Amino acid sequence: MTVLVTGGAGYIGSHMVHALLALGEDVVVVDNLVTGFDWAVPPAARFERGDIADRSLLDRIMGENEIDAVIHFAGSVVVPESVRDPLKYYDNNTAASRLLIEACVAHGVPRFIFSSTAAVYGEVSAETLTEDAAAQPINPYGRSKLMTEWMLRDVSAAHDLEHVALRYFNVAGADPDGRTGQSTAGATHLIKVACETALGQRSSMAIFGTDYETRDGTAIRDYIHVSDLIEAHVQALRYLRNGGKSLTANVGYGRGYTVKEVVAAVERQTGAMPVELRERRAGDSAVVVADASRARDVLEWTPRYDDLDLIVKHALAWQKALDQRKQG
């Protein structure tokens, strides 16, 4: 039995592949390398370079292997780009996912785990978000992911395919063993940007918005270590294999840090860095924090790295290693 990981050459997907191999799973990766890296796929996994929208490729992989589960990370992930080029997102996140799900139904794949996002909630008013909060995404990225959640619900009702949709909050950090991390150039995520700035790889960074109604005026997010996020997928796979029914679950720690607190956490490890105070970034909510009770209770997920300093430590270590890789 084989697990098919789409997007397994990317940031989060490559951590998943390492975790599955460590559990003794047989793994096939499909990735077209638009933002991923072939070196990020461990050699013990079989790597098929190609597009998830290529039905003949999927038919071959699903014909050659007995796929027990698909874990679907492949997609386009940059919110501002989704505003500029929405059709790319409806194509790569929604239409391509439809083709992948269709192939799963045709080949009798019984289990599917999907990378969804807190961006499906949109403007947030509650202090912590349960999965029952209204899903009203405010950008094409969030809508493209929500539509895939809807497709999965309908398909699970109609066919023998159970799924878990995991809504990730702010994913950060890197593999504690230094094997992989966030490697895409031009990243916009706060912890990645702060680490690049602290290491002198950017001349300065901006804090977007200092007039939010929060404890220090900057926006609050629920930053989750990528290894804990992966553990939620491992638990989701176990849950489905044990006969669990389809569900949607938030993955975050349930408490947030302000932008200034994140910058301070990086500076604790690197010394002061150049920071500019800027206007709010369009489309940002003041506070986005998960209620992850469902992941903890139903998926029996227990995080191990709920510590901002540790997240920053691992992100910094990866950022340094990446720099050496580029120079070497």
Ligand X SMILES: O=c1ccn([C@@H]2O[C@H](COP(=O)(O)OP(=O)(O)O[C@H]3O[C@H](CO)[C@H](O)[C@H](O)[C@H]3O)[C@@H](O)[C@H]2O)c(=O)[nH]1
Ligand Y SMILES: NC(=O)c1ccc[n+]([C@@H]2O[C@H](COP(=O)([O-])OP(=O)(O)OC[C@H]3O[C@@H](n4cnc5c(N)ncnc54)[C@H](O)[C@@H]3O)[C@@H](O)[C@H]2O)c1
141 is catalytic: yes
Task: Please return the burial class of 87, using the count of CB atoms within 10 Å of its CB with bins 0-12, 13-18 and 19+.
Answer: exposed
Residue 79 interaction partner, one of ligand X, ligand Y, none, beta carbon < 5-8 Å per kind: ligand X
- Residue 225: contacted member of ligand Y, ligand X, none (CB under 5 to 8 Å, by partner type): none
Burial class (CB in 10 A: 0-12, 13-18, 19+), 205: buried
Residue 94: which of ligand Y, ligand X, none does it interact with, CB under 5 to 8 A by kind? none
Residue 199 tokens, joined: 């290491």
Rule CB under 6 A: which of 84-143 touch ligand Y?
92, 96, 115, 117
As given in the structure block, the two tokens for residue 207 are: 């804090």
Q: Which stretch binds ligand X (CB under 6 A): 26-34, 41-49, 117-125, 158-166?
A: 117-125
CA-CA distance, 170 to 312, in Å (whole number)?
13
Scanning 24-32, 210-218, 239-247, 288-296 for contacts with ligand Y by CB under 6 A, the matching segment is: 24-32
Say how far apart CA 175 and CA 18 lie, in whole Å: 9
Cβ-proximal residues to 144 (8 Å cutoff; 6+ apart), any chain: 76, 82, 86, 89, 90, 92, 93, 94
- Which is closer to ligand X, CB of 1 or CB of 272? 272
d(CA 49, CA 75): 15
Query: Residue ranges of the alpha helices (H) in 108-225?
Result: 140-158, 190-198
Closest by CA position to 195, among listed 252, 257, 265, 261: 265
Residue 266 found at the interface with ligand X (CB under 6 A): no
x/- mask, ligand X, residues 174-193, rule CB under 6 A, reads --------------xxx--x
Q: Does 119 bind ligand X (CB under 6 A)?
A: yes
318 binds ligand Y (CB under 6 A): no
Which C-beta is closer to ligand X: that of 156 or that of 250?
250
Within 150-169, which residues bind ligand X (CB under 6 A)?
168-169
Q: Least distance in Å: CB of 88 to ligand Y? A: 10
- Do 76 and 119 form a contact (C-beta atoms < 8 A)? no
Which one of the listed residues 141, 168, 212, 257 is annotated catalytic? 141
Given 2, 3, 4, 7, the residue binding ligand Y (CB under 6 A): 7
Residues that bind ligand Y (CB under 6 A): 6-7, 9-13, 30-36, 51-53, 73-75, 77, 92, 96, 115, 117, 168, 170-171, 184
